[in-house]
Chains A and B, each alone.
Chain A
Amino acid sequence: MRAPIDPEQIEEGLRRSTARSISLLCWVLSPLYLIFAISHPLIHPAFLARVMTPIAAATAVALFTLGFRARRADDALAARAPLQAVGIAMLVWLNVTVHVALSGKAHEATNYGLLVIGVGALFYSVRYYVAVTSLTLASYALSVALLPPHPLGVHFAFLMLSSTSLSLAIFVVRRRAGVRLEALRLREAAQTASLADLSARLQAVLDAMREGIVVVDAEGRVRGETSRESARVLGDGARDGAELAALLYPDEAARVERRAFEDWLAAVFEAKASAWEELEPLAPERVLLRVGAGETRPIALEFRPMVVGDAVTRVVVRARDESDKHALERAIRAQQEAFARKLSAMQRLVAGGGQALVAFLRNAEDRLARATALLSSVERGARAATGDADLEEAVEHVHTLKAEADAFELDGLRDAAHALEGALCAAQGGRVSAAPLVEARALVDRVGEAVRETRELLVRASPVGAEVLAQTTVRSEDVARLHALLSAREDELGLLARRLAARPFGELVGLLPPAVAKWAARLGKRAHVVVEGQDVLVPPALARVLGGVLGHLARNAVAHGLELPDARADAGKPAHGELRLCCEASGGDVRIVVEDDGAGVDAAQRAHIFDRGFTSRGAVDALAGRGVGLSAATVELAGAGYRLRLVPSPVGARFAIEPAALS
């Protein structure tokens, strides 16, 4: 929709247009009146020439002066242009009127006709046109009325009528054309301003996006605005007219990539816009921009078409510097690899029993504590008497710690201990000031931190969690015998015997996570296991049957509870089903909850779920379906003094294993 144009702006434009004519008109009329001034004495009677010559000469001078002053059509002159036009008309009118009055010849009124036509060709203003034309016609009428009649009077009357009609036609046509042209000029100016504004806003948006954004044409050259970031990402050459392929692949070594890109760009502009979906995946996603000798900058690229009709006219290219992301990914990858190596080494140690490492950690903590105490003693000033001896003993402890850490391939701990050993040695013999002691104090903290990290790694790698730290190698027959002899006692001895025979929950469920994933995959399902309370000690009676019981419950959950991925997606659940095994200490015993996020147990089947032979599954396979599992689990748990219950759950099924005494 076109924006409305202010009429006053159009009038202003017309005034400017008039102003542009003033100077030219004055330059034409001024010499003419000079000729009149010279010719009057030659062709007119003396009395007429005496009056008309000065008037014509004055008119010539006045017009020359006005033409000189009006040669620059600036704003101030434009405002006065209509009045100047009136002034010119009045000068002409004056010459004509005086000449007619003095000559007494009505046919001299021919000049009135010329003046009327000239006014029509000069004025845009209706008001001034009407005023000047009326004055001229009135003057003519007066001359006809006052002067003696002339044989050609009727002829001149028709001349005036024709002149007036022609003048009116010229005025109307010029004004209409002038108004239209001015409106067009104003619209164009408004559009140009709007485009400039849009262009500035586009530039601001591009700059704010913090990406290199350029637009390329069918020749593969950068056109129009580019974002401020373009120069940083793509180099200083990313300007209007630059060849994008040369910017992205300046190196001879990238000729394969450059050729593929140039071919792609050509194909995009050759094809119809509808082919973009097919061509877009064939665009380069990434480029290694060479920015120096052997140095590259990874740039991610994205392309978007600009379409007119069914043709791609431009392609917008977004280039993102991924140097930071790349460096971060590399650092994370390196850290992950280092951590995986450590974890793997720790898992190998744990698989071998782990007791040696546990013993080492205990010894390391003891050695570090002793070294710290000795260091404190030296710091307090006891050094005079025993300082060097204390430091020597501290060095021995740290040295042993370092050697043991090296044997376990604990590089971080070994290096920290080595640095501490060096600082302690430097402090020996009073060779230097207190600086090595300060350094040693800081390094003690670093070694302590390394020991704690090793502990945490061990616990993390252990299937029984923190309980691994309390384990030592013992003969299971001895433990069983001890339990048989002492577990009935209520004193501390009985408590110790029961605790000794108990097993960490994590140890009893260690095989389930991989097994559940395997069982689920066999049925086209996906599942993972979450274990909580790995280090909670399970009483020996329950520990003996728990592995089998949890196996029954897990198989049932996979076979009956967890849905296929599509069904889970329909229910708004994640594709992977979850089986949670939680063990918590409760009143000197344990309570274990096994729950899944599957379909749950049908209300009608709840009452019979523990009955032997009852199954909710139509077919029997290796996993479930015989209706034996839950029944067998119940019997086994009852034999150990525990019971199995189906407890309410908002999602899926939840079973609880509790001491039977609770019922």
Chain B
Amino acid sequence: MNGRVLVIDDQAVVLSRITTALQGAGLEVVATAQTVGAARHLRGCDLVLIDLHMPGLDGAAVLASLREAAAGLEERPDFYLFTSDTEAARDWQAAGFDGAISHKGDEEHVVLQVLAAVRGRRLRSVRKSKAPPSRR
């Protein structure tokens, strides 16, 4: 499946492993530990995975700034909370995300979740294109 994913995490090891795993599943991956300037990678992205709890960084602020930057894009990506904390994964809506990718340390599981999220996004697009035109 084609798809472009931006991963923002402060741990280089996590970025390296998840990049390899997602690329192996046929996805294009942009991985960065730098929150400053991450907005320039948003164009063409389907998903943005953000680690909310990065030491010294405010994940919520990163999400807010990226959402603001994405507002100007023709196709806005979906923002997913990227976490290994299953409790935190339940609160994705309260934290302002579109969904949550859990089990961060289990690449196989993460890949299946990311693929499902990309498929879900594609499906929305297909359904939208097939929906009858609005009467207004």
**Interface residue ranges, A against B (CB under 8 Å):** 252-257, 259-261, 263-264, 267, 270-271, 275, 278-279, 281-284, 286-288
Contacts and interface: CB of A to CB of B under 8 A. Distances in A.
Given A278-B126, A288-B108, A253 B103 contact: yes
B58 to A, nearest CB: 25
6 contacts: A253-B109, A254-B113, A256-B99, A282-B122, A284-B116, A287-B112
A284 B126 contact: no
A284 B113 CA distance: 10
B127 interface: yes
Contacts of B40: none
Nearest to A275: B130
Contact of B116 (A260, A270, A271, A275): A260
A259 B120 contact: yes
Given A263-B123, A267-B126, A257 B89 contact: no
Contacts of A271: 130
A292 to B, nearest CB: 15
Given A282-B122, A283-B119, 15 more contacts: A254-B112, A260-B117, A263-B120, A263-B123, A264-B120, A264-B123, A267-B123, A267-B126, A271-B130, A275-B126, A275-B130, A279-B123, A281-B1, A284-B116, A288-B108
B86 to A, nearest CB: 6
Contacts, number: 61
Nearest to A270: B127
A609 B39 CA distance: 62
A228 B123 CA distance: 33
A260 B101 CA distance: 13
B32 to A, nearest CB: 22
A338 to B, nearest CB: 19
A288 B109 CA distance: 7
A257 B130 contact: no
A269 to B, nearest CB: 12
A264 B115 CA distance: 13
B102 interface: yes
Given A260-B117, A261-B116, A288-B109, A253 B126 contact: no
B100 interface: yes
Between B80, B102, B119, B124, the greatest number of chain A beta carbons within 10 A of the residue's beta carbon is seen for B119
Given A253-B89, A263-B120, A282 B126 contact: yes
A260 B124 CA distance: 10
B91 to A, nearest CB: 13
A260 B103 contact: no
Contacts of A278: 126
Contacts of B109: 253, 288
Contact of B112 (A255, A281, A288): A288
Interface in B78-125: 80, 86, 89-90, 99-103, 108-109, 112-113, 115-117, 119-120, 122-124
B46 to A, nearest CB: 13
Contacts of B123: 260, 263-264, 267, 279, 282
Nearest to B2: A281
Contacts of A279: 123, 126
Contacts of A281: 1
Contacts of B113: 254, 256-257
Contacts of B130: 271, 275
Contacts of B101: 256
A267 B89 contact: no
A260 B117 CA distance: 7
Contacts of A287: 112
A282 B86 contact: no
B119 A264 contact: yes
B117 A253 contact: no
A256 to B, nearest CB: 5
Contact of A282 (B90, B100, B103, B119): B119
Given A253-B86, A282-B126, A260 B120 contact: yes
B117 A256 contact: yes
A500 B51 CA distance: 65
Contact of A257 (B80, B116, B126): B116
